Amino acid sequence: MDLVEDVYRIAKLLPKDEKFALIDQLKRSATSVVLNIAEGTGALGDKEFKSFLRNALKSLYETVAGLKTAERLFRLNITETVEKCNIVGKELNALIKSLKTKV
């Protein structure tokens, strides 16, 4: 959730003409990380949960790419937010590996 808050804060710093491009995509991808984890929590087994976690990881990669795009195009400091992404990525990978079912 902290990551989503950071991304929304960064999105407010972007130019208004990015409203329907980078801003929306950043918000969607960051929110997707949290929502996939939440949805996967209600999964019926490890196999299904692992699938949702992998989707969350993909959305995280998309978020990082969007943040790095914002950094390059608009000279924003995103260092702390990217570090949060790295931590979330490590946690997701560890959780995926800890699940018994091979998918």
Is 0.75 surpassed by the pTM of this model?
yes
Q: How many CA atoms lie within 13 A of 39 on its CB side?
A: 13
Band of pLDDT at residue 7, cut at 50, 70 and 90: very high
Q: What is the pLDDT of residues 15-66, one digit of tens each?
A: 999 999 999 999 999 999 999 999 999 999 999 999 999 999 999 999 999 9
Q: Tell me the domains of the chain and their CATH numbers.
A: 2-98 (1.20.1440.60)
Query: Residues near 99 by Cβ (< 8 Å), separated by ≥ 6?
Result: 46, 49, 50, 53
In 3-state terms, what secondary structure has residue 102? coil
In 3-state terms, what secondary structure has residue 78? coil
